Structure 1
């Protein structure tokens, strides 16, 4: 019997080890519904930026007739400022395909906005992202400014760094240093990238809250834990356009 137990232990050991190794590469819990968001960044020619935004404001209804616009911002600082950043919501990938097909066949959209403004765009970047399972899209209490904080985490996915990252975000949110709008995990684009969108009344309120958080031991301890999994962080201050649903 002892010999049998010994043989079973040896036989099962590699299988247990394989399970343990595989689990460290899983992505962790995800949203179960098909809803995802498209992050679009347009790099515009500086001389064309005002004209581009004016034209989009006049014809935004042609675009929003097909899918939901979450928010539309210009970049105030944090890298190149000749950019607009916008977020679109889709039910699933079939929905997105149908939207782009409808826009391609929409003569008014093509002739009045898309084709005339192609020369205003230097470069376009697109990411497909999901909300993390513990977050829903928030709503700002009033008009203000936004900060998009982008984290490039170490490979391994949320199963590796998700819990620590959640604690760090919630520590800032729970102490009212800023209002959380959404936390998004990239599915198509640079992987292991997480975007956190915050709202604040203005840039000075943001600066004051950041200084206070640096002296808050509850925040500092969670951030120190999370940065063990961090490679790169980038912060951008965003100004909502008048037609943006998120003001």
Structure 2
């Protein structure tokens, strides 16, 4: 059952900035090397249950190489999708992990070879926490909201403070537990929230943690 109390709805506020926006994009990298790879997979509808079962049975083979932050299914929004987030301390670490996975025969035979025919598409974004945000682990189990905003390029100097204030207002009134605020370094760029005249599009997804997700 999905909890209805708004305060147990956690949110990923997904903020993406283009490479030229030094106040958000480059600044975050200068302050920390850790980044979060946000991966989204579209699953063929008739294979969705089989995909989740196969993943649950074999996810330990993947987490043996690097930790998993969370794994969710999309309940509302674009359906038949999963969202998972993998933290890395550096690009060098990610490269070593991906190299090891490519050589892991169990991972390839028991998982990759089986789930590839079930996938419709895959998307990966390299994201960093914005300088003023911290990762938080929710105290209660619940559902999550992933919100992405497509922004017109060139406006962070004008919308940055407004965006931060708007998110803090949502969190302070108990609307949500703000898990993290991110911008994308690679992948789909120019995303943010608030300052409506700068927004070109918005996407909301309600996420349900899987049974094997570390973040509930």
TM-score normalised by L of structure 2: 0.85
Please tell me whether Structure 1 or Structure 2 has the larger radius of gyration of its CA atoms: 1
Does residue 59 in structure 1 map to residue 40 in structure 2? no
**How far does residue 26 in structure 1 lie from its aligned partner after superposition?**
4.0
Secondary structure of 1:161's counterpart equals helix
**How far does residue 228 in structure 1 lie from its aligned partner after superposition?**
2.6
Q: How many residues align?
A: 193
| 22, 25, 41: which one aligns with 1:27 | 22
2:196 maps to what in 1?
227
Q: Is the 8 A contact 1:72 1:85 kept in 2?
A: yes
Query: Deviations for 1:49-85, whole angstroms, at most 9, x for unmatched residues?
Result: 1111111111111111112211100000112x11111
For structure 2, list consecutive stretches of 5 or more residues without a partner in the other structure. Answer: 1-19
For structure 1, list consecutive stretches of 5 or more residues without a partner in the other structure. Answer: 1-24, 196-222
Q: Take 2:142 and 2:51, find their aligned partners in 1: how far apart are those partners?
A: 23
| 178, 186, 206: which one aligns with 1:237 | 206
Secondary structure of 1:234's counterpart equals strand
**How far does residue 232 in structure 1 lie from its aligned partner after superposition?**
1.1
2:41 maps to what in 1?
42
Aligned runs of 1:149-188 on 2, under 5 Å? 149-156=147-154, 158-188=156-186
Q: CA RMSD in A?
A: 1.5
Q: Is the 8 A contact 1:27 1:159 kept in 2?
A: no
| 143, 146, 152: which one aligns with 1:145 | 143
Secondary structure of 1:88's counterpart equals strand
Q: Which has the higher contact order (CA 8 A, sep 6+)?
A: 2
Q: Is the 8 A contact 1:27 1:156 kept in 2?
A: no
2:128 maps to what in 1?
130
Q: Take 2:135 and 2:156, find their aligned partners in 1: how far apart are those partners?
A: 19
